[in-house]
Amino acid sequence: MSDPFYITTAIAYPNGKPHIGHAYEAIATDAIARFQRLMGRDVCFLTGTDEHGLKMDQTARGLGIPTQQLADEMSFYFRDMCDKLDISIDHFSRTTSDHHHKASQAIWKRLEASGDLYLDRYEGWYSVRDEAYYDEAELTEGEGGTKLSPQGTPVEWTVEESWFFRLSKYQQPLLDFYAAHPDFMRPESRKNETIRFVEGGLKDLSVSRTSFDWGVKVPGSDNHVMYVWLDALTTYISGIGFPDDTEEWRKYWPASVHIIGKDIVRFHTVYWPAFLMSAGIPLPKQVFGHGFLLTRGEKMSKSLGNVVDPIELAGLFGVDALRYFLLRDVSFGQDGSYSPEAIVTRVNADLANSFGNLAQRTLSLIFKNFEGCLPAIHGHTDDDNALFDVVREAVSVQIPAHFEDLAMSQALERWMHAVFACNAYIDVQAPWALKKTDPERMETVLATLFICIAQLAVAALPVIPGSARKLLDQMGVPENVRNFGNIVSHWYSPLAESGFRIAQPQGLFPRLELPAEEENAA
- Residue 522 above 60 pLDDT? no
Distance CA 278, CA 231 (A): 15
Please report the pLDDT score of residue 87 as a whole number: 98
- Could you tell me the pLDDT band of residue 519, with boundaries at 50, 70 and 90? low
Please report the pLDDT score of residue 517 as a whole number: 58
**Tens digit of each residue's pLDDT (9 = 90 or more) over 457-478:** 999 999 999 999 999 999 999 9
- Residue 1 above 60 pLDDT? no
- Could you tell me the pLDDT band of residue 295, with boundaries at 50, 70 and 90? confident
**Tens digit of each residue's pLDDT (9 = 90 or more) over 356-372:** 999 999 999 999 999 99
Mean pLDDT over 173-191 rounds to: 96
Please report the pLDDT score of residue 298 as a whole number: 67
Residue 241 vs residue 297, higher pLDDT:
241
**Tens digit of each residue's pLDDT (9 = 90 or more) over 398-414:** 999 999 999 999 999 99
Please report the pLDDT score of residue 330 as a whole number: 96
Q: Which helix (H) or strand (E) holds 92?
A: strand 91-94
Distance CA 127, CA 148 (A): 8
* Angle at which helices 310-317 and 319-329 cross, to 10°: 110
Please report the pLDDT score of residue 360 as a whole number: 97
- 5-291 is classed in which CATH architecture? 3-Layer(aba) Sandwich (3.40)
Distance CA 126, CA 352 (A): 50
- Residue 280 has phi, psi (to 5 degrees) of 70, 30
For 114-176, what is the HEC assignment?
CCCEEEEEEEEEEECCCCEEECHHHCEECHHHCEECCCCCECEEEEEEEEEECHHHHHHHHHH
- Residue 142 above 60 pLDDT? yes
Phi-psi category of 69—alpha, beta or left, where left has phi over 0 and alpha has psi -120 to 50? Answer: alpha
Name beta bridge partners: 337: 294
Please report the pLDDT score of residue 304 as a whole number: 56
CATH topology (fold) of 340-497: Isoleucyl-tRNA Synthetase; Domain 1 (1.10.730)
Distance CA 117, CA 127 (A): 23
**Tens digit of each residue's pLDDT (9 = 90 or more) over 418-464:** 999 999 999 999 999 999 999 999 999 999 999 999 999 999 999 99
Mean pLDDT over 175-185 rounds to: 97
Domain ranges, ordered by start, for the chain: 5-291, 340-497
Name beta bridge partners: 49: 12, 94
**Tens digit of each residue's pLDDT (9 = 90 or more) over 53-70:** 888 999 999 999 999 999
**CA torsion through residues 246, 247, 250, 255, sign:** negative
Mean pLDDT over 99-108 rounds to: 98
Mean pLDDT over 476-482 rounds to: 97
- Judge contact between 2 and 43, C-beta under 8 A: no
Q: Whose CA is closest to 32, among 258, 283, 314?
A: 258
Helices (H), ranges, 430-512: 431-437, 439-460, 465-475, 492-497
- Residue 389 above 80 pLDDT? yes
- Judge contact between 330 and 373, C-beta under 8 A: no
- Residue 48 has phi, psi (to 5 degrees) of 170, -170
Amino acid identity, position 318: G
Mean pLDDT over 193-209 rounds to: 95
Q: Establish whether the linkage from the previous residue to 150 is cis, with ω within 30° of 0.
A: no
Q: Which helix (H) or strand (E) holds 159?
A: strand 156-165
- Could you tell me the pLDDT band of residue 17, with boundaries at 50, 70 and 90? very high
Please report the pLDDT score of residue 122 as a whole number: 84
- Residue 307 above 80 pLDDT? no
Contacts of 342 (CB under 8 A, 6+ apart): 325, 329
Helices (H), ranges, 66-169: 67-84, 98-113
Q: Among residues of the chain, what percentage have pLDDT more than 70?
A: 97
Distance CA 446, CA 364 (A): 10
- Residue 189 has phi, psi (to 5 degrees) of -60, -40
Distance CA 171, CA 202 (A): 6
Say how many CA atoms lie within 13 Å of 210 toward its Cβ: 14
Distance CA 293, CA 295 (A): 7
Distance CA 72, CA 178 (A): 38
Amino acid identity, position 43: V
**Tens digit of each residue's pLDDT (9 = 90 or more) over 265-294:** 999 999 999 999 999 999 999 999 999 998
- Could you tell me the pLDDT band of residue 305, with boundaries at 50, 70 and 90? low
Please report the pLDDT score of residue 144 as a whole number: 77
- Residue 158 above 90 pLDDT? no
Question: What integer best gives the mean pLDDT of the chain?
Answer: 94
Please report the pLDDT score of residue 468 as a whole number: 98
